A and B are shown apart, each in its own frame.
Chain A
Amino acid sequence: MINAVLVFNNSGQPRLTKFYTQLETSVQQRLISEIFTLVANRPNSSCNFLPLPPLLANSSKSTTPGAQHNDTPSLVTYRHYATLYFIVISTSTESPLALLDFIQVFVEALDRLFENVCELDLIFNFETLHATLGEMIVGGVVVETGLDKVVEGVRSQGKVAKRPVNESKGGLTLSGFGRGEVPWAGR
């Protein structure tokens, strides 16, 4: 299952935090900053999988291998779009490559909703950001990966607000984020 979805920007400021297990706020913040440290030092040519951050590595080491194995978060997947990092922490029941696609769908859905999405949209409409994620993941389990259905689901909850007019700036440039044209598209 998916344990957490995080979005933060290039300087480590959170834009979305969603933990599918209850976690102390301070621990949440520490985890975010640990992951940011890991992710910020990676060149663009690196792969999209992170080693486990110390917080998770220590706790997963302590559990006995085998029985507990599938319950422990073991995979940190991320994608970097313009100014934002999208991170998914998951257990081994998720497929690493499919998660990359999942993030892509998430961003595409946001792009569809906001028409050329950029970080500012997400800052000012973080409720919509949560609603979009809520259409895709419930309780750590993926419920929808179809772009149209996700967008439809969010729109049914009400009009998606536009960013304030005077705040406009370049979007996340969906077509241009490095390896955006996923060759292994899982859809």
Chain B
Amino acid sequence: MFEKSLYDLIRGLRNHKGGEREYIQESIRECRKEIRGSDMDLKATALLKLTYLEMFGHDMSWASFHVLEVISSQKFAQKRVGYLAAVQSFRQDTEVLMLAENQLKKDLTSPSLTTISLPLIAVPHVINPSMANSLLSDILPRLTHSSPLIRKKTIVTLYRLALVYPETLRPAWPRIKERLQDENENPSVTAAVVNVICELGWRRPQDFLPLAPRLFDLLVQGGNNWMAIKIIKLFATLTPLEPRLVKKLLPPLTNIIKTTPAMSLLYECIHGIIQGGILASIEGTVEGDEIAKLCVGKLRSMLVIEGDPNLKYVSLLAFESIVSSHPQLVSLHQDVILECIDDPDISIRTRALDLVVGLVSPDNLVSIIARLMRQLRNAPIESALADPENDRGYHGGVVPYADSDDSEAEESLRPAEIRSDQAPPLPEDYRINVIRRIIEMCARDTYANINDFDWYIDVLVQLVRVCPSVKGTTGAMEYTGGGHSLTSDDISYDIGRELRNVAVRVKSVRPEVTEAAQSLVLVDTRDKMFTVSGNGGQGVLEAAAWIVGEYANLATNPQAVMTSLLHPSTINLPNQTLATFIQAVPKVFAHLSGSDSISWTPERKTIVSLLVARVIHFLEPLAMHPDLEVQERAVEYLELMRLSSEAASAQETGDTHGDFADPPLLLTQAIPSLFMGMELNPVAPGAQKRVTPPDQLDLDAPINNSLQSLLRQAEYDSALGSDVEDEVSRAYYEKPSTRPEPVAAADRLEQPKSEYTSYQRSAEEEYLDPDIVARRKAERRERHKDDPFYIPAEGSGTSTPNVLRTNNGEEVDIDSIPIMDLDLSQAGQIRDRSPGPAPPKQKTRRNFEILTDENLGSEDVSSLESARPELVLPRSSAKGKKALLQLDSSGLGSLSLDEDGDHVSKLDIERREQEEAEMAKAIKEVERMRLEMQRANERIEAKHLPPEGTVVKRKKKKPKAKVEGNDTPTVDEGGEAIVVKKKKKAKKPVEGTDALVEGAADGEPDAKPKKKKKRRLISLDEPSGS
């Protein structure tokens, strides 16, 4: 009956080509009417139709109550429609769920197999913690249902209950384990248990170690490749915990690798060996070398196999996980891996790209980069059509238009394979990824792989041109303070940072970098430097502007640079870039006007005055800029320029032909000294933290004991406006006894701040007070001797980098490279200390001197690790957002499956069961104890008498040994559980762990039951004897 109606709907859709939207609205209206009626058939049909439309994005959350009505139908077909609708349409906030509980319970206990299945399948989709708690008692018994169909589904449903409410796993786990241990269990059910354990396994692998023997048997028995794959995956998480497993696993895994016809199993074996750290743990042994060679060899043949891109893909995945631990093994297969970079399939390319990053060396860097650059250059920029944001469905719901009856017509909709000479367009994120990887490979270990920096600069400049354009940032960024986070996603900023890094670190190519930066900054050449389409690469301007400013003396055409910096289009740049441009302006200005060797002729005066006027003209509107950083810099330099203007006009000019006339000191001394005093060197990110505060500086001491009350006072004063009501208000507002300790005020002050100011104060004073700069220059130099972040320009004589370069030419004498001794152990005498030489840490590569980060003390590994990635890729920090589609299982991580300890909250079912179980347990225990006593007596007769105090312990332990050895698995579980619990209470923690370790050892799968029993007895006797 209802099929016909859904059929009608679908047919109707086909007959309303072009008018689907109206037709659907009409149909939904009908459904609303039908679903409210009392006719169950009609209701169910309407619901089915709604579910169908939901698939296309049409909301049906309003019908959730009707879903429940249909679920409660007596007819299976209708019930099924109801459950389907619930699964498809219920969301986290669906409120009627509470009402569904009783119905679910009822269906779970139905005599009909198919009816039980419905709630079992639906529950994982709709479950919430409170429901999990109450449904548990109904679902748990289904684990022993006579039909394997029900049992296997129940296992998974229990797993999903545990995900939302981890405590439910405690009562469920022993029963699930029972299913696994039962050798007569239906293989489908066993496979389902293995699947669930594989999901649970990586969260709490230690809980699953005891299952290793059974899992091992299942693996060796073979027969089910699906299950074998899961078991191998599970073992990969267990081996790190139990190294002895490695030895055990190797023979069967090797066997599988050599014999299996199933490629998926072969692959997972190799993957498991890598993932489980098996390769690493047996490295060096003959076996280890053999297995490593076997794995890599198989992976290689997967890679070169013709016509199966899937194998290519997965073998690259496996290579990737192996490359960090065994780079030399992987690099043997470089030839085939490098081929994959140019694979037509973008998925394979991406994998290969990730892989080569681990393979790069000075020898192959250039060829790898060349391949990637070729890709970037030759592929056209992706068209806007392929942009996912233009896709239908992005802006609104998808309208299901009429289905075509004609298969040919559908066939033709498929895009023809692009097989022209032109490379297919590269997706944008791939493009960005390639650029990022190129930079990462080149910058690794402070350019350890780079032999030719001129080449690298060319690469970087080229990268700017192939940068993908950035969408919709310019408008949004202009007036928001949050512009920074937006722009830092742009890959061109990373390129810029790289350029700057090279400029700072590699002095010998600084002129070349400056030249490149200049060409990027110059307005005239910008067209050539950046991509024709879009605004890609603009982010590099920030770093380029910094470079031309900082190294203005190296720029070949400072006049043109100045013109470009002051160009009207500059104002349209993003705020951060604009601020950098403003900063670069006075630097270039200082270079242009600051010469003190040229006489102050009228001609020079005019030129300087004109330049100053241009700068002022540029800065004036920016003094009102909405961005604070831009505004502040503009205001400061504006004042400086006005002073310069005054100084320039006030200074008497000399005769054109006559004697030398002094130019104004402000121009020749003061302004240049603002920017050119010291060389800027790279500083390790961790260095600031290592600066130890001076001994005398007690950061915990209150600066002013009455600060709190002063602040409070100020607050009241401003709040009340007068102190007439002071007495009254104080009585009301001031908490007399709970006033915080005065010390707290000092605590709240940021500690690093005080250090910061102590180092930077001098510089700030100069910025604020430029008039006195010249007068204090000498003083400042003296002070800077103490500043760890500056290398003094004069003084010790050997340490000026320029001197070094001219003295040594391109061949650098390592020993003479200046290194500041930043040992601050005598921090107290920081002011009096003078810099001394320290042993050089850096290496030189050929004729390039690369500065490493300056740091304090010895470079320890941890600080390096944290420093390196930041150096190249300071990406936006991770957001704490949960991933889409992600099912959070973190709750399971904290749940212990051991049955020890007091449970804070008992589940309903646990409480009920506990009462019953306790009675049964007690009876069993008594019986066991009696048996045990009997045996113990026998043994005592045979052996020496143990010391008195340990008898109790032995009694407690022995039941475990006995039960595990002899009984059937079912009884075994119960017995073990009790004993573990008892034992935990009776024993000291140390002994407890000992016993656990022994237990794991005994769990080795090959041990025959009888043998096991014997061994166990021995191992348990040992502690009692000692």
- Give complex CA distance A63, B890 in Å: 13
- Give B880's nearest chain A residue, CB to CB: A62
Q: Would you call A20 and B199 a contact (CB within 8 A)?
A: no
- Give complex CA distance A57, B347 in Å: 14
Give the residue among A27, A50, A139 with the most B Cβ atoms within 10 A.
A139
| With A49-B310, A140-B124, A186-B225 as contacts: A54 and B267 at CB distance below 8 Å | no
| With A30-B393, A95-B264 as contacts: A23 and B884 at CB distance below 8 Å | yes
| With A25-B59, A54-B388, A142-B195 as contacts: A131 and B156 at CB distance below 8 Å | no
Within the complex, which residue of A47, A138, A145 is in contact with B313, where a contact is CB–CB below 8 Å? A47
- Give complex CA distance A44, B345 in Å: 10
Within the complex, which residue of B264, B308, B414, B885 is in contact with A89, where a contact is CB–CB below 8 Å? B885
- Give A64's nearest chain B residue, CB to CB: B878
Closest Cβ of chain A: how far from B167's Cβ, in Å? 18
| With A28-B57, A142-B226, A143-B188 as contacts: A11 and B394 at CB distance below 8 Å | no
Q: Would you call A143 and B199 a contact (CB within 8 A)?
A: no
Q: 21 A-B contacts, Cβ less than 8 Å apart?
A: A4-B885, A21-B887, A23-B885, A34-B391, A40-B415, A41-B386, A62-B880, A63-B886, A68-B883, A70-B202, A71-B889, A93-B202, A95-B233, A98-B268, A101-B226, A123-B403, A139-B159, A143-B153, A169-B405, A184-B266, A184-B267
Which residues in window 1-21 of A have CB below 8 A to B?
Answer: 1, 3-4, 9-21
Within the complex, which residue of B347, B350, B887 is in contact with A20, where a contact is CB–CB below 8 Å? B887
Selecting from B76-84, B455-463, B669-677, B745-753, the interface stretch reads B76-84
| With A27-B884, A98-B264 as contacts: A57 and B57 at CB distance below 8 Å | no
Residues of A in contact, count (CB < 8 Å): 103
Q: Would you call A67 and B160 a contact (CB within 8 A)?
A: no
Q: Which residues of A contact B314 (CB under 8 A)?
A: 96-97
Asked if A22 is at the interface (CB within 8 A of a chain B CB), the reply is yes
Q: Would you call A26 and B310 a contact (CB within 8 A)?
A: no
- Give complex CA distance A140, B880 in Å: 24
Q: Which residues of A contact B196 (CB under 8 A)?
A: 141
Closest Cβ of chain A: how far from B2's Cβ, in Å? 9
Q: Would you call B882 and A124 a contact (CB within 8 A)?
A: no
Asked if A116 is at the interface (CB within 8 A of a chain B CB), the reply is no
Q: Would you call A186 and B265 a contact (CB within 8 A)?
A: yes
- Give complex CA distance A142, B156 in Å: 9
What does the 1/0 interface line of B79-110 toward A look like (CB < 8 Å)?
A: 01100100110111000000000000000000
Within the complex, which residue of A48, A72, A138 is in contact with B157, where a contact is CB–CB below 8 Å? A138
Q: Which residues of B contact A71 (CB under 8 A)?
A: 883, 886-890
Selecting from B48-56, B366-374, B512-520, B1003-1011, the interface stretch reads B48-56
Q: Would you call B57 and A29 a contact (CB within 8 A)?
A: yes
- Give complex CA distance A24, B91 in Å: 7
Q: Would you call B410 and A10 a contact (CB within 8 A)?
A: yes
Asked if B344 is at the interface (CB within 8 A of a chain A CB), the reply is yes
Q: Would you call A68 and B7 a contact (CB within 8 A)?
A: no
Asked if A180 is at the interface (CB within 8 A of a chain B CB), the reply is no
Asked if B346 is at the interface (CB within 8 A of a chain A CB), the reply is yes
Closest Cβ of chain A: how far from B874's Cβ, in Å? 15
Asked if B117 is at the interface (CB within 8 A of a chain A CB), the reply is yes
Q: Would you call B398 and A22 a contact (CB within 8 A)?
A: no
Q: Which residues of B contact A1 (CB under 8 A)?
A: 199, 887
Question: What 5 A-B pairs have minimum CB-CB distances, sorted nearest first?
Answer: A184-B263, A139-B124, A47-B309, A33-B393, A97-B264
Q: Would you call B393 and A98 a contact (CB within 8 A)?
A: no
- Give complex CA distance A50, B348 in Å: 9
Asked if B179 is at the interface (CB within 8 A of a chain A CB), the reply is no
Asked if B114 is at the interface (CB within 8 A of a chain A CB), the reply is yes
- Give complex CA distance A64, B309 in Å: 30
Asked if B769 is at the interface (CB within 8 A of a chain A CB), the reply is no
Q: Would you call B114 and A50 a contact (CB within 8 A)?
A: no
Which residues in window 103-148 of A have CB below 8 A to B?
Answer: 120, 123-127, 130-131, 134, 138-146
- Give complex CA distance A29, B418 in Å: 28
Q: Would you call B414 and A40 a contact (CB within 8 A)?
A: yes
- Give complex CA distance A34, B405 in Å: 25
- Give complex CA distance A144, B194 in Å: 12
Which residues from chain A sit less than 8 Å from chain B, CB to CB? Answer: 1, 3-4, 9-34, 37, 40-51, 53-57, 59-64, 67-68, 70-73, 82-83, 89, 93, 95-98, 100-101, 120, 123-127, 130-131, 134, 138-146, 149, 153, 156-158, 161, 164, 167, 169-170, 179, 183-187
Q: Would you call B229 and A22 a contact (CB within 8 A)?
A: no
Q: Which residues of B contact A156 (CB under 8 A)?
A: 113-114
Asked if B392 is at the interface (CB within 8 A of a chain A CB), the reply is yes
Given contacts A40-B415, A46-B309, 8 further A-B contacts (CB under 8 A): A31-B884, A41-B415, A62-B878, A138-B124, A138-B157, A143-B188, A169-B405, A179-B308
Asked if B125 is at the interface (CB within 8 A of a chain A CB), the reply is yes
Q: Would you call A158 and B233 a contact (CB within 8 A)?
A: no
- Give complex CA distance A185, B56 in Å: 34
Asked if B429 is at the interface (CB within 8 A of a chain A CB), the reply is yes
- Give B393's nearest chain A residue, CB to CB: A33
Q: Which residues of A contact B87 (CB under 8 A)?
A: 18, 130
Closest Cβ of chain B: how far from A122's Cβ, in Å? 11
Within the complex, which residue of B268, B883, B889 is in contact with A62, where a contact is CB–CB below 8 Å? B883
Closest Cβ of chain B: how far from A142's Cβ, in Å? 6
| With A3-B885, A124-B10 as contacts: A43 and B417 at CB distance below 8 Å | yes
- Give complex CA distance A97, B429 in Å: 26
Closest Cβ of chain A: how far from B351's Cβ, in Å? 9
- Give A126's nearest chain B residue, CB to CB: B52
- Give A58's nearest chain B residue, CB to CB: B884
Within the complex, which residue of A72, A130, A157 is in contact with B886, where a contact is CB–CB below 8 Å? A72
- Give complex CA distance A31, B123 in Å: 24
| With A10-B414, A45-B309, A139-B159 as contacts: A186 and B226 at CB distance below 8 Å | yes
Q: Which residues of B contact A34 (CB under 8 A)?
A: 388, 391
Closest Cβ of chain B: how far from A37's Cβ, in Å? 5
- Give A61's nearest chain B residue, CB to CB: B878
Which residues in window 378-400 of B have CB below 8 A to A?
Answer: 386, 388, 391-394, 397-398, 400
Q: Would you call A141 and B414 a contact (CB within 8 A)?
A: no
- Give complex CA distance A56, B397 in Å: 19
- Give B90's nearest chain A residue, CB to CB: A22
| With A32-B393, A37-B391, A95-B268 as contacts: A47 and B90 at CB distance below 8 Å | no
